[in-house]
Structure 1
């Protein structure tokens, strides 16, 4: 059985269909897209239909820290990523599997409500406090998978290999929940790959926490093991987020982080370089040419004071990028892309920083350009099967409400500019993942229970 949707304005890789007819099969795959009305019944959808984005970097549990670390004291007069990390570790020490699932469900609900239909969960809280293993070694991973299943978001779970507290340093007590041997880590990956039988929207990839936390031989062994299980697996790593990290890796390994990866591991389109904030010209050229994706988390990078990603230089080198919401100060597609573009406008003191005029004189719109690049980069990192409203892709459809104040009076040419760079209201009305409506009228069917479970988790964390 198939369903045909008539979308008032339907996003396509090369423009818009107004209207566009989207045929979706019972399994949630797009069978056809056409401009002419087919025979038989159709479901009319007013508004702008765009593909769902993949959020390429998430630490779901960090959502509870948003707004709780914005202060200084005499003992913390200089505040940065490393002082924030101490507060994060205090939360980790108190986190139970039940809390983990409740927090993740709220985060994934918020992502859906902002038009993100898949998430790459960079997951490193594996064990009990102190490092004792759960009876089910995949307990915390399973909680994240359950949260994704409850909300309906597609998940690419990225269990993290974490082995050291810095180059040549042992882990401290607060990091013991993160640690695996390479053998145990590969067993976890294999276990989670088995979960895909019961969850068609689940993918499993590999994450190395960083070059600070994983030694060269461990990284190579883990990558070899993952590739033996799945040669197409997506590979993610935190890299070059701060100048402190760049200096530590250069001192310990003899090269800047991205250059070390290029020279010793090799990069390709399966890689996501999370943050990649501090790159030199050689690293930009090499990493962009490799086809790897720069995993940008603009609001998190801003709240941590990390610095500006070299967006213009990366774009001009042909580099791929996408966006993640990382610590979830916001889960808004528009806010992440807006600060990415407008932050560079402030720095460079000019407008439309990566848009280039077309040779034939057509206008290039920054909102559309930012959205389309993030769309492609996110799908490349998640391998979820969506990323475009074309035949053969997963039916992930987001309807933007034309009656939202953000979009009033706009047509398809400027709708994405208005959403990404315009007002403050969220125009996302309806969201479909794999052919199933999970958000309708801005609401989720299980929203009340998800919010209640989150509040209970926060109360428990405060009481411990």
Structure 2
């Protein structure tokens, strides 16, 4: 799309500015001019415009099973019992279903402030485990959902070959995920063909976890994406760490840092259970910690060592993972609150006296998320993808301070109010890839996407 907009207020790389004229061509910002006057043919957008938030970790199909695992089992429930619910859900999911669920999840992301998503995609094959005639059938469905909603896409085909550390055989519930390195290489190539047709799309790789690959297959997978992005689950659960130590003598994050070329192209998802030394080493490697605080809380995973990580200038971003509650404000709020509970203190993720905790959290999530997705996003600046989220400053809590929010601390307060008070209700307009896809909090295709999703869920849950 080509066009021009005048943003009443906007957060730019150097700080807040008023009356910012942005020009857009081919889905990117071609001009960003603060202090501009209204000009003919320019649409004025009231409110506070912030860069669109990147979602660095998503399993879209899991949006359809949200709420299905909230019933206590006969023994202590954990990630591992939740995983059995997921396997049963997948026993009924068709490609049409996966696309409908992904479109609904991506629509909700846009309505709530995410404008690009990294789809960690491991649902590859048919219900019986056989590949589809088109090896990229399911990848194509994710791309179609992204294209239909307008969200930016980093597609991460996931290599899943084993059921445990040391090349243990997979279980029956994992049959839809499995590939050997040769077939995985073909899948990555096919995914690149598919995503080439999606504006704002790119492809990386995602070795699922150290328990799902061997050192040899991990090396084969990362060789397919020499410039990244490379994403991998690591140290999410205590049992995973214990099993990795039993296999290799080291926890998963230490093993990766010792044995693999972990650098700025890597994203380690969760890293919930790391030693102080691992935390510091990960930060110094320049990799991104992919945090999913709402899912990590839902699954009872644990609490990330956030304060130590930031003290070492570690980079992080946020993701929605299981999509139980899609909301960037909610993820960042949960991140901060988890740190407060762990340390019995307040404003833990702020790094200096007087600093806005919301501004710090958002800034880190924008920079880390852009790095993780390997895309020119995360800022309202020339050359970046034309994404922004506009907070409705007539929302009561924001309106109380919006009149004085001309920059600095007063405008930081609006971000604090969004993240810690108003959340999704404050999101008014959203642009993704140069297209306004959300107005007044509603996606332009909400009715059709919702109707398809509802029909899909009714069929699946009735089976």
After TM superposition, the score normalised by the length of structure 1 is 0.95
- For structure 2, which runs of at least 5 residues remain unmatched after alignment? 406-410
Deviation at 1:8, TM superposition (A): 1.2
Question: What pairs with 1:57-76 in structure 2 (closer than 5 Å)?
Answer: 57-73=57-73, 75=74
Residue 179 (structure 1) aligns with: 178
The answer to whether structure 1 residue 441 and structure 2 residue 432 are counterparts is: no
| Greater alpha carbon shift after TM alignment, 253-262 vs 401-410 | 401-410
Deviations 1:18-63 (A, max 9, x none): 22222222x1211122223268423211100001011000011111
Deviations 1:372-399 (A, max 9, x none): 1001111111123211001111110111
Tell me which of 247, 250, 254 is aligned to 2:245: 250
Secondary structure of 1:422's aligned partner: helix
Could you tell me how far apart the structure 2 residues matched to 1:425 and 1:38 are?
30
The answer to whether structure 1 residue 368 and structure 2 residue 359 are counterparts is: yes
Tell me which of 95, 107, 110 is aligned to 1:109: 107
Could you tell me how far apart the structure 2 residues matched to 1:369 and 1:402 are?
20
Could you tell me how far apart the structure 2 residues matched to 1:234 and 1:376 are?
15
Deviations 1:408-435 (A, max 9, x none): 2222231100001123552111111111
The answer to whether structure 1 residue 293 and structure 2 residue 288 are counterparts is: yes
Secondary structure of 2:399's aligned partner: coil
Could you tell me how far apart the structure 2 residues matched to 1:279 and 1:205 are?
25
State whether residues 17 and 35 of structure 2, in contact with CA within 8 Å, keep that contact through their aligned partners in structure 1.
no
Deviation at 1:263, TM superposition (A): 0.9
Tell me which of 138, 154, 157 is aligned to 2:155: 157
State whether residues 130 and 174 of structure 1, in contact with CA within 8 Å, keep that contact through their aligned partners in structure 2.
no
Change in Cα spacing, 1:356 to 1:222, as seen in structure 2 (3 Å) is closer
State whether residues 118 and 384 of structure 1, in contact with CA within 8 Å, keep that contact through their aligned partners in structure 2.
no
State whether residues 7 and 49 of structure 2, in contact with CA within 8 Å, keep that contact through their aligned partners in structure 1.
yes
Residue 128 (structure 1) aligns with: 126
Residue 328 (structure 1) aligns with: 323
Could you tell me how far apart the structure 2 residues matched to 1:275 and 1:196 are?
26
Residue 462 (structure 2) aligns with: 463
Secondary structure of 2:273's aligned partner: coil
| Greater alpha carbon shift after TM alignment, 317-326 vs 57-66 | 57-66
Could you tell me how far apart the structure 1 residues matched to 2:396 and 2:424 are?
7
Deviations 1:50-96 (A, max 9, x none): 010110000111112222211114x2x30110001000100111111
Could you tell me how far apart the structure 2 residues matched to 1:94 and 1:39 are?
54
CA-based RMSD of the aligned residues comes to 1.4
Tell me which of 296, 302, 310 is aligned to 2:305: 310
Tell me which of 137, 143, 146 is aligned to 2:144: 146
Question: What pairs with 1:32-431 in structure 2 (closer than 5 Å)?
Answer: 32-37=31-36, 40-41=39-40, 42-73=42-73, 75=74, 77-167=75-165, 168-224=167-223, 226-227=224-225, 231-357=226-352, 363-410=354-401, 411=405, 412-423=411-422, 426-431=425-430
State whether residues 130 and 173 of structure 1, in contact with CA within 8 Å, keep that contact through their aligned partners in structure 2.
no
Structure 1 segments, 4+ long, off by >6 Å, are none
Secondary structure of 2:116's aligned partner: strand
Deviation at 1:453, TM superposition (A): 0.9
Deviation at 1:335, TM superposition (A): 0.7
Secondary structure of 2:123's aligned partner: coil
Deviation at 1:317, TM superposition (A): 1.1
Secondary structure of 1:419's aligned partner: helix
State whether residues 358 and 416 of structure 2, in contact with CA within 8 Å, keep that contact through their aligned partners in structure 1.
yes
Change in Cα spacing, 1:413 to 1:221, as seen in structure 2 (3 Å) is closer
Could you tell me how far apart the structure 2 residues matched to 1:291 and 1:312 are?
17
Change in Cα spacing, 1:40 to 1:18, as seen in structure 2 (3 Å) is closer
Could you tell me how far apart the structure 1 residues matched to 2:424 and 2:204 are?
34
Equivalent residues, number: 453
Deviations 1:190-211 (A, max 9, x none): 1111224322221111001100
Could you tell me how far apart the structure 1 residues matched to 2:171 and 2:340 are?
41
State whether residues 55 and 119 of structure 1, in contact with CA within 8 Å, keep that contact through their aligned partners in structure 2.
yes
Could you tell me how far apart the structure 2 residues matched to 1:165 and 1:211 are?
10
Secondary structure of 1:355's aligned partner: coil
State whether residues 28 and 385 of structure 2, in contact with CA within 8 Å, keep that contact through their aligned partners in structure 1.
yes
| Greater alpha carbon shift after TM alignment, 254-263 vs 196-205 | 196-205
